[in-house]
């Protein structure tokens, strides 16, 4: 659990968990046209796998 405060002062409590493969659909829904124009097409599966590899090498 973490408490986040926005620059405008709004406070929210966030519960974090490890990302799982079934989250890909929800993550893809967060990507907007502006994001695609800025960064290009993102391969969500690649990003999740890359993150998993980084986590295991740190342990």
Percent residues over pLDDT 90 in the chain = 12
Task: Provide the 8-state DSSP code for 45.
Answer: H
Q: Are the C-beta atoms of residues 24 and 45 closer than 8 Å to each other?
A: yes
Asked whether the whole model's pTM tops 0.75, one would answer no
Task: State whether residue 13 is helix, strand or coil.
Answer: strand
pLDDT of residue 31: 85
| Burial grade of 40 (CB within 10 A; 0-12, 13-18, 19 or more) | exposed
């Amino acid at each position: 659990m973490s408490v986040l405060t926005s620059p405008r002062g709004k406070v929210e409590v966030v519960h974090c968990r490890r990302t799982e493969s079934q989250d890909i659909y929800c993550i893809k829904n967060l990507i907007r046209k502006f994001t695609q124009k800025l960064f290009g097409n993102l391969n969500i599966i690649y990003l999740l796998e890359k993150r998993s590899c980084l986590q295991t090498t740190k342990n």
